[in-house]
Amino acid sequence: MNQRRRFEVTPVGAVESPLTDPAAAPKQGHEGAPDAWLVFEPRVLDALDGIRTGDRIILLTWLDRARRDVLRVHPRDDITNPEQGVFSTRSADRPNPIGLHEVEVMAIEGPSVRVRSLEAVDGTPIVDVKPVLRYPSD
Amino acid sequence: MNQRRRFEVTPVGAVESPLTDPAAAPKQGHEGAPDAWLVFEPRVLDALDGIRTGDRIILLTWLDRARRDVLRVHPRDDITNPEQGVFSTRSADRPNPIGLHEVEVMAIEGPSVRVRSLEAVDGTPIVDVKPVLRYPSD
């Protein structure tokens, strides 16, 4: 099980968003989140080649304000919802607080990618980007 | 941009699979991958509460054999495919080698969750589990 192993995540960029208060952030992008810029570091720009306006991508972020010792939550922070394990919820609080966000690319300008309706707050570290897997061409 | 920040991923379990050779692993689960066990560490078992047989979940793994300095690849390791940036592909080689796998839960036995058609090799560290987000109840 290699319980004692550790791996190091090195952010490849950061979110630039008008959203600054995590408490005010919508729980999911389609609940009124603002558009945002993904600003990538110069050293990884080659990795963006092939991403185009109109693409849907999966953005992985590191939710650096999350609590990593939380294993059970009331879904959607509503205490009238029965507690559940975090692996069956989208809680930011979880042992490895990686955020998954499916977003549409609106524009690409050098190291910056504009995306629609992102629920991550300003400054959130970007960990990875992947194509959405729903098309036979993947 | 916080280029110098680092975050530590602590595996919460590991994959047990008959798949041992990464070179023989299918590129995607639906291309003939075997069923596998996800074996979680005792300290995170509370986080599994709410996951049930029949659920579709998103498994996040750490692809610990990947090369992290690769930014461009020939998709699907086929050199007749033009090179693309890794962010527009499912390449395991990428700056932060996190694997995303959508799988169906077949059984749950204590700390072990049986899943259908997983393309990760035996011993792959598990980083996180999330619900699939396609239903209004999420």
pLDDT tens-place string over residues A17-39: 999 987 776 666 566 899 999 99
Segment B91-101 shows an average pLDDT of 97
Residue with tokens 């205490």: A79
3-state secondary structure of B11: coil
Q: Which residue has the higher pLDDT, B23 or A63?
A: A63
**B13, A1: Cβ pair inside 8 Å?**
yes
pLDDT score for A135:
45
Bridging pattern class, strands A36-40 and A13-16:
antiparallel
Contacts of B65 (CB under 8 A, 6+ apart): B22, B92, B121
Q: What is the pLDDT of residue B137?
A: 41
The arithmetic mean of pLDDT across residues A49-61, rounded, is: 97
**CA–CA separation, B110 vs B88, rounded Å?**
37
Report, as an integer, the average pLDDT of B88-113: 96
A-chain residues near B98 (CB < 8 A): 60, 98, 127-128
Question: If you compute the radius of gyration of chain B from its CA atoms, what whole number of angstroms results?
Answer: 16
Q: Which residues, numbered 97 to 136 in chain B, qualify as contacts with chain A under a Cβ-Cβ cut-off of 8 Å? A: 98, 100, 102, 123, 125, 127-131, 133
CA A58 to chain centre: 8
Question: Residue B76: which residues within 8 A CB-CB, separation 6 or more?
Answer: B27
DSSP conformational letter for B76: G
- Residue appearing with tokens 């879904």: A75
CB contact under 8 A, A95 and B12: yes
Q: Which of A126, A87, A69 is nearest to B7 (CA)?
A: A126
pLDDT band at B29 (very low <50, low <70, confident <90, very high): low
CA angle at B97 for the pair B38 and A124, rounded to the nearest 5°: 105
Is the pLDDT confidence value at B30 over 70? no
Confidence of residue A56 (pLDDT cuts 50, 70, 90): very high
Among A90, A98, A123, beta carbon nearest to B98: A98
Write down the ipTM of this complex: 0.90
What's this model's pTM, rounded to 2 decimal places? 0.91
Whether chain B has a CB inside 8 Å of the CB on A78: the answer is no
CB A50 within 8 A of CB B88: yes
Percent of chain A with pLDDT over 90: 80
Residue owning tokens 């990795």: A47
Cβ–Cβ of A9/B10 closer than 8 Å? Answer: no
Listed in sequence order, the DSSP H helices in chain A are none
Contacts (Cβ under 8 Å, ≥6 apart) of A117 = A29, A30, A32, A33, A34, A35, A103, A104
Task: Report how far residue B49's alpha carbon sits from residue B23's, in angstroms, rounded to the nearest whole number.
Answer: 35
